[in-house]
Structure 1
């Protein structure tokens, strides 16, 4: 088999994408290069949602070939992030060009230039129509129609789609993408790296570091403390629970002071604010927890749920969290509650609070689900199948 030349064009190194690039680069007869427009995630920079400077402490550049086309592109203005004239010749090198979405200028350039450069396009991303209310009013209907027409144009120029989950599949079907062009490539975290944290962090030691008694039930939130993640909604639910419930926030953001102001008087020492925790240390907090909650108003997926399940935690998510279709089997791996319904969330928490057996059985089922279906290997296998890269090693069946 001749070598397949693959070019990946991405905004910046992202810790849950890099393992997929490494996996593709390791396949036989594959020559892969990843192009980036910003190195801020490597060198560090201010993250307004965390409210602080952030530089990930995990290696994001080894194990595959990468090239920075720019170092500080304005990623907040997506149409401005484009391939310059000097970059366009790079496209001539490839058999396949991979992108992660359809909103950036360089992604539109790539689908427009495919025919003249004789490459095929593969796209894998958080495609979803969830959270988009039915258009009301002339202006909103016009925008909805414009989005749909644009996506029809864009998708008609894509050769293969990596489907990360159920919402993505429904989105593609609604736009008439043929099943023969879709390949399961489930959304995943760095499975192998997180598993080393699972093995390294012991529950008793993690709880001792936090000063939490073995009899307490630790309810964990991990993420940015921003309004759309709804961390205060969780706090309101926990305030109505018995005194053995401990609420642990891992993350930072503009709502931190408000959380302290509203919850500390009631919860006192049962409120633990860990602040921002980098990737290499996050395992200690999952190990200390008993239940994981993601109460977001909207979240296209919620990869922290993958992390929590790999640590064997039962999960509770709102009906605004996209991964609920894929990772949360109601009553088996966790629960789903209607966003904004504090009483419904509190009721789900009470079920888990009173039954250690239920927590353990749900956690075990969730861990099995994520480790047999939503792994780096499964994601790479789907991309390899789409590109006809032979028969990559199979470790598990991807989700249907």
Structure 2
């Protein structure tokens, strides 16, 4: 049987998940086809990987940039591909993208299994009743779901998906890569050249309002003002995006410009070097469906300081806090600063132990867990397809 998945553009973590799923399906005598909407994407300019894969890879618009393709063209191309390939089950990422809705409707017309792959949680943003009603109607198009964790399941249940039709494991990265590469960098003394000399806090994100970088910089300045002279850590902010100018101004206002480093957007291998020598990882987002960079950092063996609004927070930093790191209120700069101080004041041996615990926790949430969850959702859908409401009007 043929299982199909579509992502807008394949980054490293998409490929890791797809490879694990292809391997699991092959062991069952099944096959995976992975659709990629576009060959390029401005929001996440990942390095393009073109080597042969263990799954069938189909790029709908190989020479186009995602943001430039009209919605109608995406839906039409997806429908044409499905009519040609006739998969038995579809993993549909979300219910907003045009190609996702085209996939969901195609499963209805052709009596195929449909699995919603979602990382939305109720606290991500303010919810408007009529939009939630539309989502609830769209939920009728899916037989089962694959989500990151309990908060994501709870949100789908609120929209009408029965809890016993939801599997876990959607949010995964290539744990083995980040673990191995970080350890390799640490064993190369010359690899630290150009990095801050002392332990440093590291954050990796788009420079966008929801990532809360301005408040993180304010919290870092508070931490520096309270730290023992000569022992304060630096802050490294990897990434780029639309809020770059505001971040620059925040750095200037902080009075800590010499201690804040911005190496830009980095591909996975270069980024792993910054993970390797960091003292801890910080994710300060006020809206973060999951936060895959936290998975990467944990796999690299870093203690985690995570916003309580991040979907991964209670999975990767479970109670009691302190074992893998700590959580904080992203709206409170003083509490954020207190968590920075807490981590920086830990003895090195304790910090390393916290990082090892984070690595152990995230090891249960790698690509293989994604593959298991996808197959679990497929089996639920095959055993008992949902009785669905009438087909949604096009564009609803």
TM-score (norm 2): 0.83
1:92-103, aligned counterparts within 5 Å?
A: 93-103=86-96
Q: Is the 8 A contact 1:219 1:290 kept in 2?
A: yes
- Report the CA distance between 1:191 and its aligned residue: 1.9
Aligned counterpart, 1:248: 236
**Relative to structure 1, is the Cα distance of residues 78 and 370 closer, same or farther in structure 2, using a 3 angstrom cutoff?**
farther
Range with greater deviation from structure 2 (9-18 or 154-163): 9-18
Verify: 1:89 aligned to 2:83, yes or no: yes
Query: How big is each residue's C-alpha offset from its partner over 1:58-95, in whole Å with a ceiling of 9 and x where there is no partner?
Result: 5576332111222326547885331346435236x221
Aligned counterpart, 2:361: 369
Structure 2, unpaired ranges of 5+: 381-396
Q: Is the 8 A contact 1:79 1:103 kept in 2?
A: no
Q: Is the 8 A contact 1:32 1:65 kept in 2?
A: yes
Equivalent position to 1:192, from 169, 176, 187: 176
1:116-127, aligned counterparts within 5 Å?
A: 116-127=109-120
Aligned counterpart, 1:17: 14
Structure (1/2) with the larger helix percentage: 2
- Report the CA distance between 1:303 and its aligned residue: 0.6
Aligned counterpart, 2:220: 238
Aligned counterpart, 1:352: 343
Aligned counterpart, 1:39: 39
- Report the CA distance between 1:388 and its aligned residue: 3.8
Aligned counterpart, 1:63: 54
- Report the CA distance between 1:325 and its aligned residue: 2.4
Q: Is the 8 A contact 2:11 2:46 kept in 1?
A: no
Aligned length: 364
Counterpart-to-counterpart distance in 1, 2:171 and 2:186: 27
- C-alpha RMSD over aligned residues: 2.6
- Report the CA distance between 1:198 and its aligned residue: 2.4
Range with greater deviation from structure 2 (329-338 or 73-82): 73-82
- Report the CA distance between 1:23 and its aligned residue: 1.8
Counterpart-to-counterpart distance in 1, 2:366 and 2:179: 11
SS for the counterpart of 1:18 is helix
TM-score (norm 1): 0.82
Aligned counterpart, 2:290: 301
- Report the CA distance between 1:275 and its aligned residue: 1.7
Counterpart-to-counterpart distance in 2, 1:270 and 1:82: 47
Aligned counterpart, 1:145: 129
Q: Is the 8 A contact 1:58 1:280 kept in 2?
A: no
Structure 1, unpaired ranges of 5+: 136-143, 390-400
Query: How big is each residue's C-alpha offset from its partner over 1:230-272, in whole Å with a ceiling of 9 and x where there is no partner?
Result: 2222222222322421111222234445444543573354222
**Relative to structure 1, is the Cα distance of residues 75 and 90 closer, same or farther in structure 2, using a 3 angstrom cutoff?**
farther
Counterpart-to-counterpart distance in 2, 1:60 and 1:255: 34
Range with greater deviation from structure 2 (202-211 or 216-225): 202-211
